[in-house]
């Protein structure tokens, strides 16, 4: 059948031609079920066996630089639709190396699964905003199962100018053949011309077998030459070896030129070992002071404190956090006296740039923080701009300061008991010093955080949280955290998207903006209104500033999945689970992701783990119950969902919405999402724009849901 715009292939509406790809003609289409663009590759001629082989080859791979397969029909493939352009040269060495590294990573992944590409050429490499995408596995050979290839022994298939000599001669192939083709592609990337370009196919094949390409003038010429050796034994012996060589150059190019530092939690050396909150707080205050220094990269508290109590090697810590310098120290407190020691260490060789000991009265703790910050700036030779130094910071009363340190100490433990203790100390800090703007802003953020884990209804805490943030800005208009929480409340409580973006932008334009503010901008201002690619960009900025923050990395995974970058999203979720197997959100949102991709067995496994960790959290209960029923465990699922009582348990409406979503009951799911929107469930705006919301956004119920959230008409 010849396709044309307007035709239907099952649920796929053909929009127009894209071009030819290998053995198929490629069309842009719309998946009417999920309301997303896809690429339809239709079989041409007699290649049905190889066409099925391409489907198997791509389906076996899951990599951010390999085009994904979504579906297969009798004579067509449904592939990821990619907005990009074929690879072209000439490129400068740095750009070519970066793209070549991504291609090598993709081929390495294929080779590890026993798959040879066999038709690597510039036309099969698409350059997109997120990097390269490797296309067209139509000639792919499953090396471990040669009977699965439709290519007879001795048959020459591929594109002549990019074949290896053994491929041109119809000889048996291994991954070193792809290495040769890779070299031909890299040659063209650097020079803008083909390595072999005869007047006919036969001339080109003869050149591949017996001639050398014209000399290449490039810093990468040696890599290209070794790839394109005529004898396979003289090439890189694996794509892993080649990728390793390229990686050295990629890593060497964007050297972190700005000074960078991580401040580790200070050790509590007090006799009673009861000053952990104080030693942690001192380190955090130093972080907050250093963040304000222009030209200095400072890792946020969560990631820096991830190594607490581990006695890890300084070099490994610095490598994990991406910094060149580490500050560590200790605190000894006795009565009203403190002794603080601090040392600034160069991670590369372990040498000390600076160290000092301070013996002071407790009232001098703020001066000690300032002195340590100034010493670090001097040791790293960072220039402090006038803007960063003119505004004196507010000095709270010492009891209020200690109460805030205790509040934050318990807040970061994030257990039901510790969160209640944190509330007591936040309120104590504010009562002891009503002018303490920073305490009011952090308390406002804490109150919103309670809603995300089901501890408090949004309607109960939002007015209090907003009042605290507004009061903080009255006292100190520069407190970024206050602007950020006002923006978050404008998004999740008011559905006022313009005000949300205005407030959070004020936060991220602050002198001392935190990765947490970047994260709030990505999630509640960008992803919530469907700006998925922008959300990914800002979420990754947040990850860069706080690389081990579980919440930030988890929600960056949500943004990546929403943007269709599935392999990267899954990797982010897996990284969080590796860092902390007890972090329930990663299991839960990975389960949602699997539901969106119809991987229900995997979803059930993740949902079961999340439920084992937080059996009281309604969204987790609802998703797990729905997946149990979908998997045939009806009695278990119905028993669980019976315990979801909307009106009694906060978040029950969202739980019921997920219960129906994972079973494909879109109308019932929409009914419950309407209730969750009315209740101002704090995460509903994110869930509806995430991967699991795709089918609902493509349904007739979406316009009303979008209207209830005041989403811009273009997004709705």
* DSSP per-residue string spanning 106-170: HHHHHHHTTEE-----GGGEEEETTEEEE---TT-EETT-GGG--PPTT---S-GGG--HHHHTT
Mean pLDDT of the chain: 85
Torsions phi, psi of 677, nearest 5?
-65, -45
Q: pLDDT of 493-517, one tens digit each?
A: 999 999 999 999 898 887 667 888 8
Q: Would you list the domain boundaries of the chain?
A: 8-81, 86-252, 260-389, 394-513, 581-716
Query: pLDDT grade, residue 248 (50/70/90)?
Result: low
Buried b (16+ CB within 10 A) or exposed e, 120-136: bbbbbbbbeebbbbbbb
Q: What is the DSSP letter of 66?
A: B
Which SS3 state, helix, strand or coil, does residue 236 take? coil
State the pTM of this model. Answer: 0.61
Closest C-alpha among 355, 366, 290 to residue 329: 355
What is the distance, to the nearest Å, from the Cα of residue 56 to the centroid of all Cα atoms in its chain? 28
Q: Find where tokens 């020459």 sit.
A: 156
pLDDT at 141 exceeding the cut of 70: no
pLDDT at 561 exceeding the cut of 70: yes
Closest C-alpha among 82, 169, 68, 162 to residue 118: 162
Q: Report how far apart, in Å, the C-alpha atoms of 239 and of each of 243, 469, 601 are.
A: 6, 54, 33
Instruction: Kindly state the tokens that stand for 618.
Output: 């309604």
Give the contacts of 449 (CB within 8 A, at least 6 positions apart): none
For residues 620 and 179, what is the distance between their CA atoms, to the nearest angstrom?
Answer: 47
For residues 152 and 154, what is the distance between their CA atoms, to the nearest angstrom?
Answer: 6
For residues 416 and 181, what is the distance between their CA atoms, to the nearest angstrom?
Answer: 58
Residue-level pLDDT at 110 = 87
Question: Which listed CATH number (1.25.40.10, 3.40.50.300, 1.10.10.60, 3.30.300.250) goes with 394-513?
Answer: 1.25.40.10
Which SS3 state, helix, strand or coil, does residue 253 take? coil
Q: pLDDT of 379-434, one tens digit each?
A: 776 654 444 444 556 889 989 999 998 998 888 776 778 889 999 999 999 999 99
For residues 694 and 534, what is the distance between their CA atoms, to the nearest angstrom?
Answer: 18
Asked whether 552 and 309 are in contact (CB, 8 A), the reply is no
For residues 651 and 317, what is the distance between their CA atoms, to the nearest angstrom?
Answer: 39
The C-alpha angle 27, 30, 35, rounded to 5 degrees, equals 160
For residues 553 and 572, what is the distance between their CA atoms, to the nearest angstrom?
Answer: 6
Residue-level pLDDT at 55 = 66
Please give the helix or strand (H or E) that residue 126 lies within, else none.
Answer: strand 125-128
For residues 7 and 12, what is the distance between their CA atoms, to the nearest angstrom?
Answer: 8
Q: pLDDT of 631-640, one tens digit each?
A: 999 999 999 9
For residues 61 and 86, what is the distance between their CA atoms, to the nearest angstrom?
Answer: 21
For residues 341 and 245, what is the distance between their CA atoms, to the nearest angstrom?
Answer: 43
Q: Supply the residues annotated as catalytic.
A: 119
Residue-level pLDDT at 62 = 73
Torsions phi, psi of 183, nearest 5?
-60, -40
Lowest average pLDDT, out of 25-29, 99-103, 376-380, 615-619, goes to 376-380
Average pLDDT over residues 213-227: 89
Q: What is the DSSP letter of 238?
A: S
Instruction: Kindly state the tokens that stand for 385.
Output: 């701009």
The fold of 86-252 is: Transferase(Phosphotransferase); domain 1 (1.10.510)
CATH number of 581-716: 1.25.40
The fold of 260-389 is: Rossmann fold (3.40.50)
Average pLDDT over residues 579-584: 88
pLDDT at 447 exceeding the cut of 90: yes
Count other C-beta atoms under 10 Å from residue 152's C-beta: 8
Give the contacts of 562 (CB within 8 A, at least 6 positions apart): 527, 532, 535, 689, 690, 691
Buried b (16+ CB within 10 A) or exposed e, 597-631: beebeebbebbebbbeebeebbbbbbbbbbbbbbe
Strand pairing report for 337-346 and 325-334: antiparallel
Which SS3 state, helix, strand or coil, does residue 651 take? coil
CATH number of 8-81: 3.30.200.20
Q: Does the CA dihedral 482-483-485-490 come out positive or negative?
A: positive
Closest C-alpha among 576, 586, 588, 569 to residue 651: 588
Residue-level pLDDT at 648 = 57
* Greater pLDDT, 25 or 689: 689
Q: Report how far apart, in Å, the C-alpha atoms of 621 and of each of 639, 644, 647, 710 are.
A: 11, 8, 16, 29
Residue-level pLDDT at 45 = 56
* Greater pLDDT, 591 or 281: 591
Fold match between 86-252 and 581-716? no
């Amino acid at each position: 059948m010849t396709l044309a715009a307007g035709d239907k292939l099952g649920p796929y509406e053909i929009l127009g031609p894209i071009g030819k790809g290998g053995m198929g003609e490629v069309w842009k289409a719309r998946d009417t079920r999920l309301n997303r663009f896809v690429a339809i590759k239709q079989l041409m001629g007699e290649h049905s066996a190889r066409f099925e082989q391409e489907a198997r080859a791509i389906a076996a791979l899951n990599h951010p630089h390999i085009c994904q397969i979504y579906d297969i029909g009798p004579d067509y493939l449904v592939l990821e639709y990619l907005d990009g352009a074929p690879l072209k040269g000439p490129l400068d060495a740095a750009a070519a190396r970066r793209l070549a590294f991504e291609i090598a990573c993709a081929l390495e992944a294929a080779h590890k699964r026993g798959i040879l590409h066999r038709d690597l050429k510039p036309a099969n490499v698409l350059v997109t905003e997120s990097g390269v995408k490797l296309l067209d596995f139509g000639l792919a050979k499953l090396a471990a199962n040669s009977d699965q290839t439709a290519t007879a022994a001795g048959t020459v298939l591929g594109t002549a100018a990019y074949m290896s000599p053994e491929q041109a001669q119809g000889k048996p192939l291994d991954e070193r053949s792809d290495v040769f083709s890779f070299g031909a592609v890299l040659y063209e990337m650097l020079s803008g011309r083909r390595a072999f370009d005869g007047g006919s196919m036969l001339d080109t094949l003869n050149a591949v077998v017996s001639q050398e390409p014209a000399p290449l003038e490039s810093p990468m010429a040696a890599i290209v030459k070794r790839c394109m050796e005529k004898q396979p034994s003289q090439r890189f012996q694996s794509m892993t070896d080649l990728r390793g060589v390229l990686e050295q150059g990629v890593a060497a190019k964007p050297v972190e030129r700005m000074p960078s530092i991580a401040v580790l939690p200070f050790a509590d050396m007090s006799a009673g070992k009861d000053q952990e909150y104080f030693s942690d707080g001192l380190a955090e205050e130093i972080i907050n002071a250093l963040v304000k220094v222009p030209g200095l990269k400072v890792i946020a508290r969560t990631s820096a404190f991830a190594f607490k109590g581990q006695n890890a090697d300084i070099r490994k810590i610095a490598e994990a956090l991406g910094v060149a310098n580490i500050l560590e120290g200790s605190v000894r407190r006795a009565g009203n006296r403190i002794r603080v020691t601090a040392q600034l260490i160069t991670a590369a060789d372990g040498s000390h740039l600076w160290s000092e000991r301070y013996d002071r009265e407790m009232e001098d703790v703020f001066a000690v923080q300032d002195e340590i910050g100034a010493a670090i700036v001097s040791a790293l030779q960072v220039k402090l701009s006038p803007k960063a130094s003119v505004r004196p910071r507010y000095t709270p009363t010492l009891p209020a300061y200690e109460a805030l340190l205790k509040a934050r100490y318990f807040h970061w433990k994030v257990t039901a008991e510790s969160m209640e203790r944190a509330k007591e100390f936040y309120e104590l800090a504010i009562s002891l010093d009503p002018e303490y703007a920073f305490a009011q802003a952090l308390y406002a953020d804490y109150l919103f955080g309670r809603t995300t884990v089901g501890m408090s209804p949004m309607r109960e805490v939002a007015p209090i949280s907003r009042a605290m943030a507004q009061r903080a800005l009255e006292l100190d208009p520069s407190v970024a955290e206050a602007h950020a929480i006002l923006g978050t409340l404008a998004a999740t409580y008011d559905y006022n998207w313009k005000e949300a973006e205005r407030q959070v932008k004020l936060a991220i334009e602050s002198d001392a903006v935190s990765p947490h503010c970047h994260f709030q901008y990505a999630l509640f201002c960008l992803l919530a209104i469907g700006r998925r690619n922008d959300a990914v960009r800002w979420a990754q900025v947040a990850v860069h500033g706080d690389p081990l923050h579980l919440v930030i990395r988890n929600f960056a995974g949500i943004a990546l999945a929403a943007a269709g970058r599935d392999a990267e999203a899954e990797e982010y979720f897996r990284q969080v689970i590796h860092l902390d197997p007890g972090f329930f959100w990663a299991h839960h949102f990975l389960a949602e992701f699997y539901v969106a991709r119809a991987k229900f067995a995997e979803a059930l496994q993740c949902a079961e783990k999340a439920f084992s960790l937080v059996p009281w959290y309604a969204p987790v209960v609802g998703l797990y119950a729905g997946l149990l029923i979908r998997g045939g465990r009806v009695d278990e699922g119905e028993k669980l969902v019976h315990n979801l009582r909307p009106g009694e348990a906060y978040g029950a409406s969202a739980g019921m919405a997920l219960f129906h979503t994972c079973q494909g009951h879109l109308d019932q799911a929409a009914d419950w999402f309407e209730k969750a929107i009315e209740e101002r469930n704090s995460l509903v705006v994110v869930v509806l724009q995430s991967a699991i919301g795709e089918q609902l956004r493509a349904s007739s119920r979406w316009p009303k849901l979008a209207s209830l959230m005041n989403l811009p008409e273009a997004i709705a």
